[in-house]
């Protein structure tokens, strides 16, 4: 299963990524809203885990209406 993890706190992002990868997930990372949007547009993910308070474009604005 391929995941996109969008989180702006580097230590938390690293910890979550490590834990998810240890469980067998393929994890791509984004540290801000524009980067998450770009990755979501060019790649296919089974799930996207969003921080709602991302810089540049928050998680709520990334969700389709």
Q: How confident is the model at residue 59 (pLDDT cuts 50, 70, 90)?
A: confident
Question: What is 2-62's CATH topology?
Answer: Rossmann fold (3.40.50)
The CA-CA-CA angle for residues 49, 54, 57, to 5°, reads: 105
The CA-CA-CA angle for residues 38, 52, 37, to 5°, reads: 5
* Per-residue pLDDT tens over the stretch 10-46: 999 999 999 999 999 999 999 999 999 999 999 999 9
For the chain, which residues make up each domain, given as ranges? 2-62
């Amino acid at each position: 299963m391929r995941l996109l993890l969008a989180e702006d706190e580097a230590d938390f992002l690293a910890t979550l990524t490590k834990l998810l990868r240890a469980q067998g997930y393929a994890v791509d990372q984004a540290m801000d809203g524009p980067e998450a949007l770009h990755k979501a547009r060019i790649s296919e993910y089974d799930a996207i885990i969003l921080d709602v308070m991302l810089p540049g474009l928050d998680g709520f604005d990334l969700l389709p209406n």
